[in-house]
Amino acid sequence: MARQTNGAYWAQRMKNMEDALKDQAYSYVENMEAQFAAAQAEIEKQLAAWYQRLADNNEISLAEAKRLLGKDELAEFHWTVQEYIKYGQQNALDGAWMKQLENASAKVHISRLDALKLQLQQQAELLYANQLDFVDQAARQIYEGSYYHTAFEVQRGLGVGWSMQAINEATIAKVLSRPWTTDNQTFRDRCWTNKQSLVNSVNTQLTQMIVRGDSPDKAIAAISKQFGVSRAKAGRLIMTESAYFSSAAQKDCFNALGVEKYKVVASFDKYTCDLCGAMDGQVFKMSDYQVGVTAPPFHPWCRCCTCPYFEDQANIGERWTRNPDGSTTKIPPDTSFAEWKKQFVQATGKGLTPPAAGGTIPASKKAASSKTADQQHFAKAVKGMPGMTQAYSDALENRFASGTQAGQRAFAKFVPVGSVADGAAKGTAFFSSRTQKVTMNFADDLANVRGPGTTFFHEHGHYIDFVSSSGGGWTSLSTPDFGTALHSDFDAYVKAVMGKHSLTKRTDAYSLISTEVMGNKYNAVSDLMGGLSGNRARGNWGHKRSYWSTKGALEQEAFAHMYEAQFSADKYALMQKYFPSALAEFEKLLKGVI
C-alpha cells in the first residue's frame, strides 16, 4: 500500500475513530438513562405511598406534613436509614451524605416531610454515585482508546512505526483530575453541583406544592420532571467530558509522536453548528492547542475532532523512524490494531515519553505468530460477529489474552465463528440451546458496570456448557458433584458468618451476607448466593426467585459465572473465597472436556 499523502485521508480516518469512540460514550449515556428511569419510578412509588398514607381529600396541609413521626413510623424510618447506611458503606457513597444519614438514624424527633425529603435525596445520591462511576469509567476508556488508536492511525497512515511507552494509571489519573472548563470544575465537581441542584429543586418544589395544596398526581409529575431535567444534564455531561478526554488523548499522542501541527475536523450534517462549521479545516500549531478555543470540544455535545497536519509529506515516515543503519520498515496494510498494540506499546509503567529513534514495526505475520493458536481463533471468531466494533473487539481480545489456559482452550475447541446471532439486541442477553446461538448487545457490554466483556464470556460459558456435553444435555449437570459442592460451600460460609458474629439464626447470616456481596464486582457471587438462599442472601445482582425453581439452573449459572471468572483475576479470587470446592469441581469439568 502506498503511503497516504492526501490530507482528506487523515481527516476521514480520525473522524471514523472519533465517531466510534462517541458511540462507545453514548452507550454509557443509555445505561445512565436507564438508571434515571429506575430512580424516577422508585420516587413516584415513594411519593404515591406518602400521599396515600397522609392525604385527606387528596390534599396534605403543610402543618400535617410537618407533624413528627409517630412511634411506629419512627421505627420504620430508622430501619430504612440503616439500610441506606449499609448500602452506602458497601458502595462508597458521598461521605457528607453518609454523615447526614448517621445523624438521621440517631434522631428521635423528625417530621414526616423531612423523612420524605431524606428518602428522595437517597435516590439522588445513588444516581450521582452511579453517574460518577459511569463518567470516570468512560473517561478512562475514552482517553486510553483515543491515545492508542490515534497512534495506530498515524503510524499506519505513514506506513512506518516505532515502539511507544504504555499509559500508566498515574498518567490517566492526572489527566482526569485536571479542570478544563472556564469555571475550573472537574467532572467530579460538576456531578456534585448537578446533584445539589436536583436535591435543592426537589425539596423546594415539594414544600411549595404542599403549601399550594396540589393534588398527588400533579406533585408526583412535577418531581419526576425534575429528575428528567437532571437526566438530560447527566447525558450532556458524559458526552461532553468524553469529547474532552478524547481530545486530550489526541493532544498527548500528537506530542508523543512529534506532530507539529493539527487540523480541526467537524461533522457535516443538519446538526452541525455555525461555530464547528467555521472551525472545520483550521490548522494550528501544537503549541496553540487549547480546548474550547482552538481544539474541540467547542461546546456541549460537540462532535469535532483533530487530525495531524503535514505540510511536507515526502519521506516524513523515514525521517521519524529511520533505523541506525539508515533503513526503514514499512507497516503492512493488513496490520490490525490489536497486533500493533501488542508489539509497539511497551508496558514500562513510566508514563508517556516520546518514541526513541530506530524503532520499527514488524510484518503482520510476525505479530500474528506471537499469538497462540487459541488466541488467533478467538480473534477470528470475534471479528466475524455481526455488529462487532473495533473498541469492543479490542476489549474482548485483551480479556481473553489474560485468561487461564483452560478457559482459552475451551473457547477455541467449542465456539466456532458465528456463535452470536445478534450483537445489537434489546433486552436481556441469553444463550439458546435450540439454535446454539448467543443473543446480546455489544455496546451495552462494552460499557458494562460489571466490567467490559462480562456478558460475552458469561453467555459463552453457557454455550460451552451445552455443546461440550458428549451425551447431550449440559456438562454442568453431568455429575452431581458440582451441585453438591455449591451447596456445601454455601453452608460452610453461612456457618462461618454465624460463628463470627455469634448468630443463632441462618436468616440473620443471610442478611449480613446480602450486605457483604453488594456492589458490581460481586455480581456473580451475589447471583449464586441468591440461588442458594431463595434470594435471601443475595446482593444487588441476580435472577428472580422464580428462576431458581428450574431444575439445573443453579449449576448452569455457576458454570457460566465461573467460566467468565477465568478471564478476570479479581472475579476468580472471589470464586475461590466463596465457592472453593465448587470452583475446583468446575475446573475438573472444564479440563475433562478439553
Percent residues over pLDDT 70 in the chain: 57
How high is the pLDDT of residue 266?
Answer: 85
φ, ψ of residue 56 to 5 degrees: the values are: -120, 115
The structural domains of the chain, with segments of one domain joined by +, span: 12-136+168-238, 371-467, 475-593
The cell 443509555 sits on which residue?
Answer: 30
Average the pLDDT over 387-403 and give the result: 89
Residues in a beta bridge with 437: 432
Specify whether the CB–CB gap between 104 and 96 falls below 8 A: no
Report the pLDDT value the prediction gives residue 406, as an integer from 0 to 100.
92
Give the pairing type, strands 420-422 and 164-165. Answer: unpaired
Q: Which residue did the predictor score with more confidence, 173 or 163?
A: 173
Q: Where are the beta strands (DSSP E) in 4-82?
A: none
Whether the pLDDT of residue 553 is over 90: the answer is yes
Count Cα neighbours of 379 within 13 Å in the Cβ-side half-sphere.
19
Lowest mean pLDDT among 94-98, 429-433, 495-499: 94-98
CA dihedral 520, 521, 527, 532 (to 10 degrees): -130
Mean of the per-residue pLDDT values of the chain = 76
The segment with the largest mean pLDDT, out of 146-150, 202-206, 352-356, is 146-150
As a residue count, the chain comes to: 594
Per-residue pLDDT band at 362 (split at 50, 70, 90): very low
Name, of 5-14, 255-264, 290-299, 523-532, the range with top average pLDDT. 523-532
The yes-or-no verdict on residue 269 having pLDDT over 80 is no
Does position 368 have pLDDT exceeding 90, yes or no? no
Report the DSSP beta bridge partners of residue 563. Answer: none
Instruction: Find all residues with CB under 8 Å of 514, minimum gap 6, and list them.
Output: 529, 536, 537, 538, 539
Quote the pLDDT of residue 13.
62
Q: How far is CA 472 from CA 87, 406, 426, 433, 488, in A?
A: 43, 22, 30, 11, 27
Q: How far apart are CA 115 and CA 94, in angstroms?
A: 19
Share of residues in the chain with pLDDT > 90 (%)? 26
Supply the angle between the helices 216-257 and 112-158 in degrees, to the nearest 10: 30
- 225: its cell numbers: 420532571
Query: Helix, strand, or coil here: 577?
Result: helix
Q: What is the mean pLDDT of residues 384-391?
A: 89
**What does the pLDDT average to over 389-413?**
91
* Stronger pLDDT, 385 or 101, i.e. the higher one: 385
How many Å apart are CA 520 and CA 536, to the nearest integer? 18
**Vertex 469, ends 468 and 471: CA angle to 5°?**
145
List the grid coordinates of 357: 529513534
Confidence of residue 304 (pLDDT cuts 50, 70, 90): confident
pLDDT class of 463 with cuts at 50, 70, 90: very high
Query: Is there a contact between 381 and 416 (Cβ–Cβ < 8 Å)?
Result: yes
Question: What is the Cα–Cα distance from 403 to 357, expressed in whole angstroms?
Answer: 34
Peptide bond preceding 333 in cis form (omega within 30 of 0): no
Does residue 184 surpass a pLDDT of 80?
no
Residue 551 burial (CB count, 10 A): 8
pLDDT value at residue 431: 93
pTM: 0.47
CA dihedral 390, 169, 541, 121 (to 10 degrees): -110
Task: Pull the grid cell for residue 434.
Answer: 435450540
Q: What does the pLDDT read at residue 351? A: 36
How far apart CA 2 and CA 330 sit, in angstroms, is: 10
User: Are 10 and 157 within 8 A, CB to CB?
Assistant: yes
Query: Of residues 178 and 293, which shows the higher confidence score?
Result: 293
User: How much is the pLDDT for 421?
Assistant: 93
Q: Are 262 and 289 in contact (CB under 8 A)?
A: yes
Nearest in space to 196 (alpha carbons), one of 109, 100, 113: 100
In 210-281, at which residue ranges do the beta strands (DSSP E only) sit?
A: 261-265
pLDDT tens-digit readout, 46-66: 667 666 665 554 455 555 555
Could you tell me the pLDDT band of residue 120, with boundaries at 50, 70 and 90? confident
Residue 95 reports pLDDT greater than 70: no
- CA quadruple 390, 590, 405, 493: dihedral positive or negative? positive
- Write out pLDDT tens, residues 334-343: 566 666 666 6
Nine cell digits for residue 388: 462487532
Q: How many CA atoms lie within 13 A of 567 on its CB side?
A: 28
Answer for the pair 120, 40: CB distance below 8 angstroms, yes or no.
no
- CA 501, 504, 506, 507 torsion-angle sign: negative
